[in-house]
Structure 1
Amino acid sequence: MDCVFCREEGGDVLWQDDTLRVVLADEHDYPGFCRVIWNEHVAEFSELDAAGRDRVMKVVYAVECAMRRVLQPAKVNLASLGNQVPHVHWHVIPRFSNDAHFPLPIWAPRQRTVSEAMLSSRRAQATLLREAVRHEIGQALA
């Protein structure tokens, strides 16, 4: 099976250990969009043991906390779909009332155009996520 998350990191690695990694995804309209990816190829969350499931959710929680602190979005969307990439991963997506799709999901039809200046400003803020994510994960896993 050819799996993109087995073959590639999936983005800029902000944090990783033996079981998981957190990456900053390259999503033009969504600076700060992160993925929490299980390192080993596992298709379904229910295939993980209790400790693995708990670890994933602690890291998702920590990424959301870091994102809220650094980016101050109107909302954070959490999604674990896996229809196109059947490998355990969670999307942690900062949402703003003036983002391209709000209030709809980011995969819905675009609602508006967002200026490059606004996106550039959000990208600059997102550079602060690396340290914030590491700090929050350290707290969550302690």
Structure 2
Amino acid sequence: MASPVSECLYCQKLPVLDELMIKICDLEVSQLFLFKEQSYTGRCNVVYKDHGVDFHELSDEQRNAFMKDVARVGKALNKIFSPDKINYGAYSDTLTHLHMHIVPKYKDGYGFGGVFEMNPKKTYLSDSEYQEMIAKIKENVI
């Protein structure tokens, strides 16, 4: 069951969106956000342009374009941060706006070897650190 567009933090740009993430840029069929919580250094979210769709509802062309955006971000994060692994997660139990968590993981870092936590609330950066990270990601993803 799809959550209504009127309750979607991405479509309505609800205040909680700004509390959780910073928009980096628009991609081909999605938007790219940086999570403010950075226990997983470089963690981002790729958010599909339309509300209420799931992978199986996309045409081949739409799905391929979305996954191309996801892959572009993964490639950029790998180049910038050199993680040991990048985890990808698409969860939409309560928020049915298609989005993909892109989570760099590091062998000696937080949560390596397990499923990533949605919001550990442990690591936050200064405004200048966020802006520096965003500039690097933008430079490598566009």
TM-score in terms of structure 1 length? 0.75
Aligned residue for 2:97?
A: 87
In the alignment, which residue of structure 1 is the partner of 2:141?
A: 133
1:138 alignment partner in structure 2: none
Q: 1:13 aligns with which of 23, 42, 60?
A: 23
| One of 67, 72, 88 as aligned partner of 1:57 | 67
For residues 98 and 37 of structure 2, what CA distance do their matches in structure 1 show? 19
Deviations 1:53-81 (A, max 9, x none): 01001111111110010000010001111
Bigger drift between 59-68 and 28-37 goes to: 28-37
Give me the CA root mean square deviation. 2.8
Which residue identity is paired with 1:94?
P
TM-score by length of 2: 0.75
Distance 1:81 1:87 in 2: 9
Inter-partner Cα distance in structure 2 for 1:72 and 1:18: 25
How many residue pairs get aligned? The number is 127
Secondary structure, counterpart of 2:11 in structure 1? helix
The answer for the alignment partner of 1:105 in structure 2 is 115
- Structure 2: segments with no counterpart, 5+ residues: none
* In 2: Cα distance, 1:124 partner to 1:4 partner: 22
